[in-house]
Amino acid sequence: MPSTRLLKRIVALAIVVGVGWKNSALADGVKIRSAATFYASFDKRLDADFAGGSKTPRVRYDTSQRGVYEIRDEIPNTFKIVAANGVHGGALSATAALPNRGRLFFAADDNISFRPQGWGGTFSVWINIDPNRQLKTPFCDPVQITEKRSSDGAVWFDFPDTKPRDLRFGAFPALAAGDTAIRETSPRAPIVTVRDIGFRAGDWHHIAMTWSDFDSGKADAEVDCFIDGKSVGRLSKRRIAMNWRLEKTGIYFAVNHIGLIDELAIFDRPLSAVEIRELHGDAGLLARLKTAQKPK
């Protein structure tokens, strides 16, 4: 019979081998890529590389009538692809905010795995920005997914009008008829705030947000927020329903953003903390999706 010391060594070796196998299995990114429903590399064009729905971005402008928007196909020249300047390959460069609250978006229909009986997901993106020096507007939303607005059925992250700028993650439930939106300053607001984020131009940062049990009808929704592979806060045991009509919902990006954006992706489940670290550790992990034909 092996000695106690030998048994301990055998157990320790088994753990090391197991961990090594797990990390090796994750390293090729197959499991992560298989969860993707949408991916825009911004390497050579603004169009998405991988999508179940439309790959072509459009622009939404406000009109004088609340809730009525003008949709245009023409992309303003303030948005350009800059080759070899991304965190991996090219990147989207935004040099100015658009008039009339203009914002780029991809159609959410067939690009997000929303299910009215309950669902989860993740968004992931890389940004390169100095929010204190470059932004010219009170708010900037590098990513916002919504049918209506940021306080009515929306997930997003933004740089708000603080000095110095904070970074916030929001997951606001859809409003029922007659309801009033929760104020963003309320202690009840479904927001995770990272104070004085301190990003600098020239530095790339990975931002990710995961969620589970949205639209379940129960107070069991969970939201986890990550910066550069590390958890920075979470929301727990919330009743959060998007109630989206996907044909009217948009994946808005680079809203009032001045700087670079790269590797925008949506997934059909909440990625694990380990998988988020994998995405942060390998900026090109999703690149193979550029040759995929359709979401798996």
H, E, C per residue of 8-26: HHHHHHHHHHHHHHHHHHH
In a domain, 9, yes or no: no
Contact between residue 29 and residue 285 where contact means Cβ atoms under 8 Å apart: yes
Indicate which CATH number applies to the domain containing 78: 2.60.120.200
In a domain, 19, yes or no: no
**What is the number of structural domains in the chain?**
1
In a domain, 192, yes or no: yes
In a domain, 31, yes or no: no
Phi, psi of 130 (to 5 degrees): -110, 95
Phi, psi of 211 (to 5 degrees): -145, 155
Phi, psi of 278 (to 5 degrees): -65, -45
Name every residue whose Cβ is closer than 8 Å to that of residue 227 and which is 6 or more positions away in sequence: 167, 194, 205, 206, 207
Q: Quote the tokens at residue 198.
A: 């301190």
Q: Quote the tokens at residue 24.
A: 């090796």
Q: Residue 206 to residues 121, 128, 152, 202, 260: CA-CA distances in angstroms?
A: 17, 9, 26, 13, 12
The predicted pLDDT at position 295 comes to 46
The predicted pLDDT at position 172 comes to 98
In a domain, 242, yes or no: yes
How far is the C-alpha of 265 from the C-alpha of 295, rounded, in Å?
12
In a domain, 14, yes or no: no
In a domain, 42, yes or no: yes
In a domain, 7, yes or no: no
Q: Digits of tens for pLDDT over the chain (296 positions)? A: 444 443 344 334 333 334 443 444 444 799 999 999 999 999 999 999 999 999 999 999 999 988 889 999 999 999 999 998 999 999 999 999 999 999 999 999 999 999 999 999 999 999 999 999 999 999 999 999 999 999 999 999 999 999 999 999 999 999 998 899 999 999 999 999 999 999 999 999 999 999 999 999 999 999 999 999 999 999 999 999 999 999 999 999 999 999 999 999 999 999 999 999 999 999 999 999 998 765 44
Q: Quote the tokens at residue 225.
A: 């927020």
How far is the C-alpha of 227 from the C-alpha of 202, rounded, in Å?
16
Which amino acid would we find at residue 14? A
Looking at the chain, how many residues does it have? 296
- The CA dihedral of 193, 198, 32, 91, to the nearest 10 degrees, is 130
The predicted pLDDT at position 25 comes to 42
The parent domain of residue 284 ranges over 37-176+184-291
